[in-house]
């Protein structure tokens, strides 16, 4: 009997010792045939480490954090990394995927494919390469987003009842006309309108269903979607580093012989095309940290794909794109959709992104959807993003209670919404009790931070939110009817809650499109706006006038339409901005609106204190 107990004890020791709390990955030195992923015998791929950890988590309870040390290098994915409950940390511990690279050798997770096999066209400085079935709306040269072939202006296009007419451009000989997009940014909407056909050389016809959908009101025949420029045609290749992908199909109409064309003086090097829509997909997952990682190169091609769901006998055309607000758009059936996230989580809690980089992404960068709570995005950098940088929440109010207490703090957000201009830096539609603090936002076309969803429904409560100490530079705005900070709806927990959403201590520079720097849109209610500094610096010689609106100036802070229980007190702004409105100024009357002690007269020390406390800080502890 004694020997039996001794055997059991020894076996238990073997079982305990078989657990591993440190795994190592190296793309250069590792091998997925490694049996332990140790420092001297690392794995090669993240997928292998994830699989081994999953098996361990099934067999053993966690007694400490599991740390996956990922050496500097490029980890190119052939398929998305998928996380679920089996990958979750437990017993209060985390599985941590941690980059060990440095500034010269980052740990990069990407889906980029480098293009080779270039040949020069005989008569022009244009090179071409066969890329097979590969297609993307983005191409990168030496790590910089290249320009999709486009015009410098609208080429004389004038809107008609069925499309557009040009009195000085003939489109008869343009190839692949259905792939051409007309870009229209008007009000807060960003549109990419696909062409169906050309009539008489100068008339660009738009599919009836798409035309009615994109214009929203078919009876209003003009100035619904004026064209800013034309994009995605071989005929538009005329500037260095402009590119175009010709989608060539075989007899079965399957695109597998695509050709990329690039304007360049020499044979191209370091041309990268993304291959995946998502780098990470997480569902029903918790207690995972991603630290010191770079996420690069994804695509999202839906606007370029053939739309087979048109309610018309007219020949099929591409989907195109038209957003309703921020990341939300509707298809031609009226279905409400959100631009997907390159990294996306649902039913996720205690997921942390710390000191990460998100760059060269063809959709929204990071999305937490339904069922996401207590997640943290901290001290990370977002740059070169086609849509929004961060989205937390949903546009479906019925599931708002599962999305709560998420923290977005100390992040740098720059050059976002550079393809879908109606998207925003940080987008929180329906989610409760979100904290957005000490972020720095710049180089965005429309709105910096957007919190709340729904119009004309004051009974949809979006929670008590904290929007504080952010630094928001609006200098590069090109789309009006937004603001540095934009809100909608009732900003408290429920009818009986006495707490207000706080917009406090933010430093806002160069809001120069209507309506205002802090813009509380329809039925925005239960908000305290205090101690914010709103200034124009010398980069803008003058504030741009409003377009399509009543007033010809930009306000500093505004409750605009049916707001109630909003306190606008102790804010500072310079003389270039109009004062916050009184209660009587609301287009639809506001109630319980307190406007007090907002001034253009303030000391340099007051401004300096707000500025110093705003934006990214060096002393934030993300853990």
> What confidence tens digit (pLDDT) does each residue in 358-394 have?
999 999 999 999 999 999 999 999 999 999 999 999 9
- For residues 325 and 275, give the distance between their C-alpha atoms in angstroms, rounded to a whole number: 28
Asked whether the predicted pLDDT for residue 551 surpasses 80, the reply is no
Per-residue confidence at 7, pLDDT binned at 50, 70, 90?
very low
* Structure confidence at residue 546 (pLDDT): 54
55, 184, 316, 336 from 419: Cα distances, Å: 41, 12, 24, 20
**C-alpha span between 199 and 205 (Å, rounded):** 7
Cβ-contact 516, 556 below 8 angstroms: yes
The answer to whether the beta carbons of residues 421 and 445 sit under 8 Å apart is yes
Range in 203-217, 295-309, 335-349, 407-421 with the lowest mean pLDDT: 203-217
Residue 516: φ, ψ to 5°? -155, 165
The rounded distance, in Å, linking the Cα atoms of 97 and 94 is: 10
**What's the mean per-residue pLDDT of the chain?**
90
Q: Is the pLDDT reported for residue 252 higher than 70?
A: no
Give the pLDDT confidence of 253-263 residue by residue, as tens digits: 556 789 999 99
Highest mean pLDDT among 103-107, 183-187, 332-336: 103-107
Which residue in 135, 153, 132, 358 sits closest to 244, CA to CA?
135
| Stretch (H or E) spanning 613 | helix 604-613
Confidence of residue 524 (pLDDT cuts 50, 70, 90): very high
Higher pLDDT, 79 or 103: 79
- Round to whole Å and give the CA distance between 132 and 130: 6
Looking at residue 457, its pLDDT comes to 74
Interatomic CA distance for residues 118 and 261, integer angstroms: 9
Give the predicted TM-score (pTM) of the model.
0.94
pLDDT at 357 over 90: yes
Question: What pLDDT does residue 330 have?
Answer: 84
Pair 479, 515: CB distance under 8 Å? no
Q: What is the pLDDT of residue 334?
A: 77
pLDDT tens digit string along 127-172? 999 999 999 999 999 999 999 999 999 999 998 888 899 988 999 9
Confidence band of 5 (pLDDT split at 50, 70, 90): very low
Q: Is the pLDDT of residue 70 over 70?
A: yes
Q: What is the DSSP letter of 79?
A: S
- The H or E element that residue 14 is part of is helix 2-17
Token pair for 384: 């070169």
Please compute the mean of the pLDDT values over residues 509-515 and round it to a whole number: 89
What are the structure tokens assigned to 61, written together?
């309870």
Q: Where are the beta strands (DSSP E) in 488-590?
A: 501-504, 507-509, 516-520, 527-530, 533-535, 555-559, 564-569, 572-573
**For position 48, what pLDDT does the model report?**
97
State both tokens at 267. 């044979």
What are the angstrom distances between the C-alpha of 598 and each of 253, 572, 575? 63, 6, 12
pLDDT given at position 11: 39
Read off the DSSP letter of residue 105: B
C-alpha to C-alpha distances, 9 to 16, 61, 355, 431, nearest whole angstrom: 11, 18, 43, 51
Counting residues of the chain whose pLDDT is more than 70, the rounded percentage is: 92
In the predicted structure, residue 216 carries a pLDDT above the cut 90? no
Place of tokens 């720095």: 440
- pLDDT for 543 beyond 80: no
62-71, 181-190, 455-464, 587-596: the lowest-pLDDT one: 455-464
Q: Which residues of 140-156 are buried (b: 16+ CB within 10 A; e: fewer)?
A: bbeeebbbbbbbeebbe
Q: Residue 217's pLDDT band (boundaries 50, 70, 90)? A: low
On whether the CB atoms of residues 228 and 186 are closer than 8 A, the answer is no
Q: Find tokens 């980089």 and name the residue.
A: 357
């Amino acid at each position: 009997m004694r020997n039996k107990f001794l055997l059991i004890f020894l076996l238990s020791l073997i079982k305990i010792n078989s657990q591993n709390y440190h795994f190592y990955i190296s793309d250069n030195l590792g091998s997925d045939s490694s049996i332990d992923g140790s420092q001297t015998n690392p794995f090669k791929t993240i997928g292998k480490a994830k699989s081994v950890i999953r098996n361990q988590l099934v067999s053993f309870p966690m007694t400490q954090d599991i740390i996956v040390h990922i050496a500097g290098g490029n980890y190119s994915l052939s398929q998305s990394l998928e996380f679920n409950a089996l990958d979750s940390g437990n017993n209060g511990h985390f599985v941590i995927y941690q980059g060990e690279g440095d500034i010269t050798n980052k740990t990069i997770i990407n889906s980029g494919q480098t293009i080779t096999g270039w040949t020069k066209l005989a008569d022009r400085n244009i090179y071409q390469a066969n890329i097979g079935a590969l297609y993307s709306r983005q191409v990168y040269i030496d790590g910089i987003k290249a320009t999709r072939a486009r015009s410098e202006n609208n080429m004389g296009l004038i809107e008609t009842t069925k499309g557009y007419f040009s009195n000085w451009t003939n489109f008869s000989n343009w190839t692949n006309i259905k792939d051409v997009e007309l870009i229209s940014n008007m009000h807060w909407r960003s549109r990419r309108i696909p062409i169906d056909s050309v009539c008489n050389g100068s008339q660009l016809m738009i599919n009836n269903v798409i035309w009615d959908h994109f214009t929203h009101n078919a009876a209003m025949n003009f100035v619904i979607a004026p064209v800013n420029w034309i994009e995605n045609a071989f005929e538009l290749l005329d500037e260095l580093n402009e590119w175009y992908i010709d989608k060539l199909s075989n007899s079965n109409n399957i695109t597998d012989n695509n050709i990329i064309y690039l304007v360049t003086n020499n044979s191209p090097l370091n041309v990268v095309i993304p291959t995946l829509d998502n780098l990470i997909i997480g569902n029903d997952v918790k207690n995972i940290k991603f630290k010191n990682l770079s996420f690069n190169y994804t695509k999202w091609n839906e606007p370029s794909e053939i739309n087979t769901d048109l309610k018309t006998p007219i020949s099929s055309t591409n989907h195109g794109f038209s957003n309703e607000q921020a990341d939300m758009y509707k298809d031609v059936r009226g279905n409400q959709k959100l631009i997907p996230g390159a990294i996306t989580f649902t039913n996720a809690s205690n997921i942390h992104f710390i000191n990460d980089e998100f760059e060269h992404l063809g959709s929204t960068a990071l999305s937490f959807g339904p069922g996401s709570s207590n997640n943290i995005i901290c001290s990370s950098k977002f740059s070169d993003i086609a849509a929004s940088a961060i989205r937390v929440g949903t546009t479906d109010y019925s599931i708002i209670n599962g999305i709560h207490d998420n923290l977005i703090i100390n992040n740098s957000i720059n050059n976002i919404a550079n393809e879908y201009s109606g998207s925003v830096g940080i987008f929180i539609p329906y989610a409760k009790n979100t904290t957005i603090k000490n972020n720095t936002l710049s180089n965005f076309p429309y709105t910096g931070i957007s919190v709340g969803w729904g119009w004309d429904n004051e009974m949809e409560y979006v929670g008590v939110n904290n929007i504080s100490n952010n630094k928001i530079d609006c200098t590069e705005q090109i789309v009006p009817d937004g603001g540095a900070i934009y809100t909608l709806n009732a900003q408290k927990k429920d009818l009986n809650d006495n707490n207000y959403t706080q917009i406090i201590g933010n430093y806002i520079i160069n809001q120069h499109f209507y309506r205002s720097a802090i813009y509380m849109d329809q039925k925005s209610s239960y908000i305290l706006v205090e101690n914010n500094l709103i200034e124009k610096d010398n980069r803008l010689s003058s504030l741009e006038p409003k377009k399509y609106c009543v007033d010809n100036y930009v306000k500093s802070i505004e409750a605009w339409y049916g707001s109630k229980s909003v306190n606008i007190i102790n804010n500072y702004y310079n003389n270039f901005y109009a004062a916050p409105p009184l209660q009587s100024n609301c287009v639809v009357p506001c109630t319980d609106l307190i406007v007090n002690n907002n001034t253009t007269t303030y000391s340099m020390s007051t401004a300096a204190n707000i500025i110093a406390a705003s934006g990214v800080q060096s002393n934030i502890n993300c853990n």
